[in-house]
Amino acid sequence: MPTNLLCRCGTVARRLNKSGIEFDEVRVAVTKRDRPEVEALTDQRWVPVLVHRGEAICDSHRILEYVEWNDGR
């Protein structure tokens, strides 16, 4: 079973694909302590993170809400 079926990053990727939104997937280290690039964007080390129009949105639930809100426009 692919891990993206279970993880939050996979949930966000599937929703973006379903909405027809093109995105770049950047893979980061599994361990949070090894994610300085994520911390530089968001001041935290959790993934997924969506950067859109210069704004970094973290937390899968917020990202899904953001995509749904923008999908209706």
pTM for the full predicted model: 0.79
For the domain that residue 50 is a member of, what is the CATH number? 3.40.30.10
Tell me how many domains the chain contains. 1
> 45: number of CA atoms within 13 Å, CB side?
9
Residue appearing with tokens 């279970």 = 6
Q: Is 49 helix (H, G, I), strand (E, B) or coil?
A: strand
pLDDT digits (tens, 9 = 90+) for 5-48: 668 888 999 999 998 988 998 889 989 999 999 999 999 999 99
**Boundaries of domain holding 54:** 3-71
CA distance 69 to 50: 14
Question: Taking the chain, what is the end-to-end CA distance rounded to the nearest angstrom?
Answer: 35
Q: Do the Cβ atoms of 38 and 57 come closer than 8 Å?
A: no
